[in-house]
């Protein structure tokens, strides 16, 4: 059995079910209303006939001054045709004349109608206020319709049926048009997804469908494609960068070791220190990569505790003092007291370390670095500023991406692989904090981390 249908088929079926249900209820309602109208109409006709029969007997009595067994003969045939079982009784209740019930029932059957229930009404026959007899008129409740009535009823039924079929046909045509219109953009998206799957990450959905939800879905898919394209670009860049990063120290090491083996160079402490530096650079790179992949893979586990931001920051900053002194960078911190925040100690440490080491790395000698911890509105803010090289407007939105480095050659010399800020961004987002950067090339940068506080 087929277990999945196309959206178009589903839509057409859906429309047909709705149209069918609508036609069916309309038909039932119209048929019921028409039947009721017919019954009311037939009842009126019946009442009229009864009154005519009564009037007839009144006239007979007025003419003959009595009622006898032949008084009804003249109307016998008409009464039978109209389906009236007429019984005439004198003032004492003695039967004078009657149209036999069986005869009327037979007539009903000959006309092809079910005779239904039998109902009888009794009318006193009064002349000048005194009762001279009784007329009993009985009818079978099944309707006897004249050929005109039958034709009218049948054409009404045909009309209702035709209208229903026509309605379903129109619904069918409309449903095809509508489903095509609705399904077309989805088909386009499917083709687009196939293109992406086949690796064409430059493909984009450009046409507007005119349906808000579809357009925003297309926008989302375009965004996804753009992200995939960027990621792919970054991945290629990373492979290139890593191999480049590794090739240089490996070549250096290889050349040095070959020189020692060949006896061209003596493995002095100075030369061995060079080897060690290259090894350390490679170790740093692999450590950064490892850390990032830990943060990126799966859910980041946080163990928040109450921390005094001032204490934590000044502890870390102090460890940078020797490096700053070496580069003649002035390190200045001002931290308000009792800045208590809920944070995972190791992760926050990592954020501050990465921001501070960048500040030191990208600030030339005799520059300055400032650390400020303050209350800002309902949050607590930590700003790390430097008088370093700054970041251009074009690079600013991208510096938190993995492996994004502004000046690749400069970064390589200083050892960075464009991972530090990606780690910061991942931790900040997972912890519910915010990070902002303001920077001017040649003047310096300010990285501000905001820790929102529970009201």
- Binding-site ranges for ligand ADP (CB under 6 A): 358-359, 362, 386, 388-391, 399, 404-407, 411, 416-422, 445
Q: By the 8 A CB rule, do 141 and 127 touch?
A: no
CA distance 304 to 48: 95
Taking the least distance from each CB to ligand ADP, the nearer of 144 and 355 is 355
Taking the least distance from each CB to ligand ADP, the nearer of 285 and 339 is 285
- As measured in angstroms, the least distance from the Cβ of 430 to ligand ADP is 17
Those residues with Cβ within 8 angstroms of residue 363's Cβ, 6 or more apart along the chain or in another chain: 327, 329, 369, 386, 387, 388, 389, 444
Rounded to the nearest 5°, which phi and psi values hold at 283?
-65, -40
CA distance 363 to 326: 12
- As measured in angstroms, the least distance from the Cβ of 433 to ligand ADP is 17
CA distance 206 to 191: 13
> What are the structure tokens assigned to 307, written together?
């921390």
Strands annotated E in 264-423: 304-308, 330-335, 340-344, 368-376, 379-386
Q: Whose CB is nearest to ligand ADP?
A: 416
- As measured in angstroms, the least distance from the Cβ of 446 to ligand ADP is 9
Q: By the 8 A CB rule, do 312 and 352 touch?
A: yes
Taking the least distance from each CB to ligand ADP, the nearer of 185 and 388 is 388
- As measured in angstroms, the least distance from the Cβ of 273 to ligand ADP is 23
Q: By the 8 A CB rule, do 449 and 376 touch?
A: no
- As measured in angstroms, the least distance from the Cβ of 274 to ligand ADP is 22
- In DSSP notation, 115-146 reads ---EEEEEEEEEETTEEEEEEEEEEESSPP--
- As measured in angstroms, the least distance from the Cβ of 297 to ligand ADP is 19
Taking the least distance from each CB to ligand ADP, the nearer of 292 and 307 is 292
Taking the least distance from each CB to ligand ADP, the nearer of 343 and 421 is 421
Q: By the 8 A CB rule, do 253 and 267 touch?
A: no
- As measured in angstroms, the least distance from the Cβ of 445 to ligand ADP is 4
Taking the least distance from each CB to ligand ADP, the nearer of 111 and 289 is 289
CA distances, 120 to each of 50, 83, 346 (Å) = 11, 12, 101
Query: Angle, to 10 degrees, between the axis of helix 420-431 and the axis of helix 345-361?
Result: 140
Taking the least distance from each CB to ligand ADP, the nearer of 119 and 294 is 294
Enter the DSSP assignment of 300.
P
Q: 3-state class of 444 per DSSP?
A: strand
CA distance 309 to 321: 19
- As measured in angstroms, the least distance from the Cβ of 314 to ligand ADP is 20
CA distances, 347 to each of 300, 363, 429 (Å) = 10, 24, 12
- As measured in angstroms, the least distance from the Cβ of 239 to ligand ADP is 17
Taking the least distance from each CB to ligand ADP, the nearer of 74 and 321 is 321
Which candidate, 369, 391, 400, places its Cα nearest to that of 442?
Answer: 391
Taking the least distance from each CB to ligand ADP, the nearer of 60 and 317 is 317
- As measured in angstroms, the least distance from the Cβ of 422 to ligand ADP is 6
Taking the least distance from each CB to ligand ADP, the nearer of 137 and 399 is 399
CA distance 42 to 84: 13
């Amino acid at each position: 059995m087929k277990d999945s249908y196309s959206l178009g088929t589903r839509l057409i079926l859906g429309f047909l079910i709705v149209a069918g249900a609508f036609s069916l209820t309309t038909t039932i309602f119209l048929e019921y209303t028409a039947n009721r109208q017919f019954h009311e109409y037939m009842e009126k006709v019946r009442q009229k006939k009864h009154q005519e029969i009564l009037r007839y007997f009144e006239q007979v009595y007025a003419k003959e001054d009595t009622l006898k067994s032949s008084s009804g003969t003249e109307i016998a045939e008409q009464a039978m045709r109209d389906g009236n079982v007429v019984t005439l009784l004198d003032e004492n209740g003695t039967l004078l004349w009657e149209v036999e019930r069986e005869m009327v029932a037979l007539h009903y059957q000959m006309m092809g109608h079910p005779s239904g229930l039998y109902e009888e009404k009794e009318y006193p026959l009064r002349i000048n206020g005194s009762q001279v007899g009784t007329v009993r008129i009985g009818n079978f409740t099944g309707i006897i319709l004249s050929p005109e009535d039958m034709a009218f009823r049948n054409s009404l039924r045909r009309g209702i049926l035709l209208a229903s079929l026509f309605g379903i046909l129109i619904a069918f045509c409309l449903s095809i048009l509508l489903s095509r219109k609705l399904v077309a953009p989805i088909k386009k998206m499917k083709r687009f997804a196939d293109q992406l799957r086949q690796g064409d990450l430059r493909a984009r959905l450009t046409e507007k469908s005119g349906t808000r939800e579809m357009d925003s879905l297309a926008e989302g898919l375009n965004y996804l494609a753009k992200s995939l394209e960027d990621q792919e670009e970054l991945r290629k860049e990373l492979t290139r960068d890593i191999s480049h990063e590794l090739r240089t120290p490996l070549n250096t090491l290889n050349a040095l070791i070959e020189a020692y083996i060949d006896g061209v160079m003596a493995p002095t402490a100075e030369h061995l220190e060079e080897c060690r530096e290259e090894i350390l650079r490679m170790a740093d790179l692999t450590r950064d990569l490892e850390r990032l992949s830990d943060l990126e893979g799966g859910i980041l586990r946080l163990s928040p505790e109450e921390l005094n931001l001032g204490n934590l920051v000044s502890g870390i900053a102090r460890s940078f003092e020797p490096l700053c002194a070496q580069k003649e960078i002035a390190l200045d911190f001002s931290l308000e007291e009792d800045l208590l925040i809920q944070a995972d100690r190791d992760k926050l440490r990592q954020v501050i370390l990465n921001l501070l080491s960048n500040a030191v790395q990208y600030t030339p000698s005799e520059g300055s670095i400032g650390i400020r911890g303050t209350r800002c509105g309902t949050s607590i803010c930590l700003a790390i500023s430097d008088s370093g090289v700054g970041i251009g407007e074009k690079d600013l939105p991208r510096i938190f991406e993995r492996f994004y480095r502004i000046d690749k050659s400069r970064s390589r010399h200083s050892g960075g692989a464009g991972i530090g800020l990606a780690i910061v961004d991942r931790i900040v987002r997972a912890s519910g904090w915010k990070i902002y950067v303001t920077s001017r090339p040649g003047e310096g940068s300010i990285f501000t981390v905001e820790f929102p506080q529970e009201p």
